Structure 1
Amino acid sequence: MTPVSVVVNTLNEEANLPGCLESLRWADEVVVVDMHSIDRTAEIATAFGCRVFQHERTGYVEPARNFAIAQAKNSWVLVVDADERVSPGLATWIKDHLGSISAVAFRIPRRNFYSDRWITCCGWFPDEQLRLFQRDYVRYSDRIHRAPTVEGSVITLPLHGEAFFAHYGFNTLEARVEKDNKYSSITAQSMFQEGRRIGAFGLLTRTVWAFVTAYLFQGGIRFGTLGVSLAWERAFATFLKYAKLWELQQKHKSS
C-alpha cells in the first residue's frame, strides 16, 4: 500500500469529527489542523491518535489547506472535511490502486446527504472533489471555493462506484441558510475586489435563473417539496451573493 496522509481542517466540529475519524482508521496518519475551537474538537482528534496543529481563524478553510498539507509526512495526501466520511470502497481503492496509476491527482465523487437522504438534484450530484493528490503538484488558492491548481494529469473516479465521500453537512434548512449567509459575504467581497458589478436586472435574472436551473434542469422537480425547497435555497444563496455585491458598490460610491 502506498502511504497516505489524511488532512482534516476543523473549527468546532465535536459533533462531526468522531464519525469522520472512524472512517479514516486505515490511513497511515491523520493530520488535524484546528482553528482554535472552543469545543472538544482538538481533544477528540488527540484521542484518535491524530497529529494536531492549530491555525489562526480565517473565516473559511482555504487559507489553512496549504498549511495542513505541509504538515503531512507522506507524498500522497487525502483532504477530508470533518462533516464527510470516506466510504469503505474509497478506502479499499486507495489501498489497492494508489501508486499503480499514472496520475498526480484524483477527483473523488461526493454524495451529499440531507436528513440522511442522498440528494441527486439541484446541483448536489455529481459533486466531484479533487482531494487525493501528490502534495508537490497541487496548491490551494486562498480564495473561497476555488479549485486547487494542479500540475500534471488528473483522473476522475467512477461517479456511481463504491469509492466516494459521504457528506453530511446540512441536516436542516436553517443550517444551509446560515452557511449561505456566511459564505455569500465572503464571495461578494471577493467579486467586488475582482471588479465585478451588478445592477437590478442582473440581480433579478440571476436569482430567477438559479431557481429555474436547480428545479427544472437539475432535477429538483423530481424531489417533490424537498426539490422546491432546495431550488429556492439555491436561488436565495444567489440573491444574497449578488445583493451583497450591490451593497458593497453603494458603500464604495458614497465613500
Structure 2
Amino acid sequence: MFSIYILTHNEQIDIAACIESAMLSDDIIVVDSVSSDRTVEIARQYPVRVVEHPFESHGKQRTWMLRSLETKYEWVYILEADERMTPELFEECVQAIEKSEAIGYYVAERVIFMDRWIKHCTQYPRYQMRLFRKDKVWFTDYGHTEREVCDGPTGFLKETYPHYTCSKGFSRWIEKHNRYSTDEAAETIAQLDRGQVSWRDLFGGRSEVERRRALKDLSLRLPWRPFLRFIYMYILLGGFLDGKPGFAWCTLQTFYEYLILLKVWERRHQPPVSAESASSSEGESLRPSP
C-alpha cells in the first residue's frame, strides 16, 4: 500500500473527482496552496487530511510536503487535482512496491483535452515521477515546474493516468500559462547562458526522460521556435490525427512558446531598475491621488 498526496490551488471543479479516484488508498493528504475558492471546504467533506501551506514554487512545495507531512506508508504517490488515479494504475503501483526493484517510478500521462485523449501531439508517452519512496526523492525548481532528484535507481510503469489539462476552461489555461511563461523565460535565459545540448542524451539517452530533456535544451536554441514547435507537433508527431482538439492543442502550445520568447526578449532588453528609481516609483504609488 502507499499514501497519496493531492496538490491543490483553487481546484473546486476537480477536487471531488480527484479525491474519489484516490480513495483506493486509506491515507490521502490534500496539500492546498491557500485556495480562495471552495477547494478546502469540499476536500474536508471526505475522510482525508487537509493541510494548507503558502505556495513558493512547485519544487519547494513538493519538498516541503515530503519533509514536513507524515504519511502512513513509506511509499507515496503524487496527484495533482486535474489528474486521476485508476484501479489499474493503483494495482500496478502496489505490485511495483512489492518487487522493490527501484526507489521510484515514472508514470505516463494521458492528456484529456476537449473530451478526447490527445495521444499524438502530446509526445505520448510523456513520463512524470509519481510513485516513489518518500526518503529517496526530492524536487528542485525548473522553469515554471519542478524536476525530481532521485537517490537510487528508477523505473517505469506501464499503466497511465488521465490528466484533464483544461478542465477549468480556456481562460484559466491562458491565465496560468501567462504566469508560467515568465518563469520559463527566466529558465530559458539561464539555460542558454550556462549549458550546452547533451547530444549523447538526445540520440542515446538511457530513457525517454533523458531524451526529452535533451530535446528541450536543443529546442531553446532553435530560431523560429514557436513555428517549428507547431510543425513538429502537428505534422511530425501527427497532431492532425487528433482532429479538432489536436489542432487546438498545437495552436495553444505555439502561443505559449511565443509568450516565452517575448518575455525572454523583454528580460534581455528591459533596462535594470535601480534601487533609487524603485523607491521613487513606490512612493508615487503610495501618494494619494488628488
Q: Provide TM-score, normalisation by structure 2.
A: 0.77
Q: Tell me if 1:21 matches 2:16.
A: no
Does the 8 A contact of 2:118 with 2:246 survive in 1?
Answer: no
The secondary structure found in structure 2 opposite 1:37 is: coil
Does the 8 A contact of 1:69 with 1:77 survive in 2?
Answer: no
RMSD: 2.2
Alpha-carbon distance in 1 for matches of 2:70, 2:238: 40
Does the 8 A contact of 2:240 with 2:247 survive in 1?
Answer: yes
Alpha-carbon distance in 2 for matches of 1:196, 1:185: 17
Query: Which consecutive residues of structure 1, in runs of 5 or more, have no partner in the other structure?
Result: none
Alpha-carbon distance in 2 for matches of 1:193, 1:81: 27
Alpha-carbon distance in 2 for matches of 1:118, 1:30: 27
Deviation at 1:13, TM superposition (A): 0.8
Query: Which consecutive residues of structure 2, in runs of 5 or more, have no partner in the other structure?
Result: 195-220, 275-290
The secondary structure found in structure 1 opposite 2:110 is: strand
Q: Which sits farther off after the overlay, 96-105 or 129-138?
A: 96-105
Q: Tell me if 1:43 matches 2:41.
A: yes
- Which residue matches 1:235? 254
From the CA coordinates, give the structure whose radius of gyration is larger: 2
How many percent identity over aligned positions?
A: 29
Q: Provide TM-score, normalisation by structure 1.
A: 0.87
Q: 2:242 aligns with which of 223, 242, 245?
A: 223
Cα deviation per residue 1:121-158 (whole Å; 9 max; x = unaligned)? 22252121111000111111133323201121111112
Deviation at 1:67, TM superposition (A): 1.5
Q: How does 1:112-127 map to 2 (within 5 A)?
A: 112-127=111-126
The number of residues matched between the two structures is: 244
Deviation at 1:249, TM superposition (A): 0.8
- Which residue matches 1:87? 86
The secondary structure found in structure 2 opposite 1:13 is: coil
Alpha-carbon distance in 2 for matches of 1:76, 1:11: 24
Alpha-carbon distance in 2 for matches of 1:195, 1:124: 24
Q: Tell me if 1:55 matches 2:73.
A: no
- Which residue matches 1:99? 98
Alpha-carbon distance in 2 for matches of 1:254, 1:66: 33
Alpha-carbon distance in 2 for matches of 1:215, 1:112: 15
Does the 8 A contact of 2:76 with 2:134 survive in 1?
Answer: yes
Cα deviation per residue 1:131-186 (whole Å; 9 max; x = unaligned)? 1000111111133323201121111112xxxx321111214444433332121012
Paired letter, 2:125: P
The secondary structure found in structure 2 opposite 1:99 is: helix
Alpha-carbon distance in 1 for matches of 2:155, 2:81: 24
Alpha-carbon distance in 2 for matches of 1:26, 1:225: 35
- Which residue matches 1:205? 224
Cα deviation per residue 1:200-248 (whole Å; 9 max; x = unaligned)? xx78511211111111111112233333322222211111111101101
